[in-house]
Amino acid sequence: MAQAETHYTLAVPGFDKPVKVLIVVAPYYRDIADQLVSGARTALEAAGATHETVEVPGALEVPQAIALAHRLSNYDGFVALGCVIRGETTHYDTVCNDSSRGLTLLGLQGAAVGNGILTVENRAQAEVRAEAAGQNKGGGAAEAALHLIALARRWGNAGKDVGFRPAGESYQVAGGSDIA
């Protein structure tokens, strides 16, 4: 059972500049969502991050809201929260797969996203995973976002000179000679 498992967790990174995080939550199961949000807020505040929370109708809208915020705002990272409980139809598979895929694609595009959307078989599993004093998957998602923000800041100013140059633009190579 997952409760008996022990897992290694990385230490939460520290930051020398303010961190601003957007929590996007689908409160379809309000009590579970509230626990996830509580855990995420506690983790962010412990790291000194500021945060805002917005609600969307369901798990499928979470990646869309994050995509909008990533493109149009100035958040350093995002925490995706919600819960999908298996029902009697294949809708469960669609919601789980598409919300996860959307969040993954955002991450691959440079958004620092912690995924805390629970995908479970029943309500009891959701309650155990969401409980802020228990498995605290909301807090874990917030900490994942903080780790990705730290990496983005570490590598964001690397100043690598890669890619193509416009025709006629010169640059220096080792040895000091200019190449056009």
Active site residues: 91
Cβ proximity of 32 and 133 under 8 Å: no
Taking CA 163 as the corner, what is the angle to CA 160 and CA 169, rounded to the nearest 5 degrees?
100
Rounded (10°) angle between helices 123-130 and 30-46: 20
Please name the residues in contact with 180: beta carbons below 8 A apart, sequence gap of 6 or more. Answer: 168, 169, 170
The tokens for 54 are 């917005």
Query: Which of 122, 125, 45 is closest to 79 using CA atoms?
Result: 45
